[in-house]
Structure 1
């Protein structure tokens, strides 16, 4: 199948920027962070609304995103070729707001050479940062069956993780390692006995391998902890997630830090003050989903750093 023209439609564009900048009065000349630049939709909208004295710092691991960012000619803007876990390198309480737009962009999905999609044949890569790290093909070439099964089950919530893992290893032993996305998609289709209506049988497996090879959930947890440190009092955190594993981490993180914590070992000690205030949970409108079906699973959560 031929890949379509690459185009990215930013999900929850206005809602995210509105939520991030809602408390910007009095702090508009501060530092704002787009921790997942992607193709720059949120960054460009933020720059259109931030005052001349503000600064916008973006992060992204994808070299193609860095190339796209070079097109922004605005002295207030800068970008780092790094994952958002490196928010931890910023000074404490230095940011007025942080935006995390998780998942992958349409150009990444629709570029066969990136290996993210089961719809287009390409090299079995899936790395967000193609300049470093191990590709999915390289990992599958040596990984034991139990580890493959665990990854597909935990990160893809796939019922047939065991049969899929066994099929991958059997194929490896018989004809050599998988190197193409079409090979993997066909193999998974043969191992999955029942299919969800409207969903390709390879969907969950591809999701799982992408999340694993990029350590996405571990990096998300580290980034959230970093956000708690870099946000100044009153600063806002906005996170857009696209599947339940991500959203569960975000939801639980905000909930944990939105309440006082008592130390059971020291019952008379004062509790640790709440550090976040949960503000909103937002889903795309029906109109947005109709215009961009890839937005249908998005959930945006908004929180504010407390004054404590």
Structure 2
């Protein structure tokens, strides 16, 4: 399974199931993970076997989010009909898109930090599959989407539900606190994941599955989301579209949260006040 990652000290890495090598040891022109995204989208990413360095076992490394400064961060609300019904909301007839700031991002070595209770006292966490754009594109036909996605990453997304409930126009505020978007440790290339339809996404809190669904049950598929957003704006390498959650769970300090995306990976975090 070919993966792109960054160590906790910021070194870009290229890996597979046998370990990781510095990305530049496989191609000296690749000094950042973002440099490798167009190659990943084109299916031309080198493998660790081509590197001049020896593999380092994954358990000997500590990772942060694979992208240092992603581009546009899109989230999609209520993309599973079951989740909309859980919230007693109507399913949208087109993608319910919103954006999040890059300052919300943390990596797997960090903790989800809840804001003070006088600002919000009801934060939920949700597992999602996110896709990362690999090349500049606009007005992309759905049949060509596979050629513009560099890979996939599991994420945990957070929402201050009580802020959102006061007014739906407060969505951006409710989603934008620091630590409210946790990335998994690595980006997995599309050729390693294969067809998405049968894969499951699970929100797990304190080792109990709070919500689970299969990607085939999304109202707008990941590929359709790329096409939809590319007709609104130019997409660029490092842009991220998080495709929606099967369901959220309220979290409090002391909880542990995990996002599990079949064949893509898991990311977990503790929750602190």
TM-score scaled by structure 1?
A: 0.26
More strand by share: 2
Larger gyration radius, structure 1 or structure 2: 1
TM-score scaled by structure 2?
A: 0.28
More helix by share: 1
- By relative contact order (CA 8 Å, sep 6+), the higher-ranking structure is 2
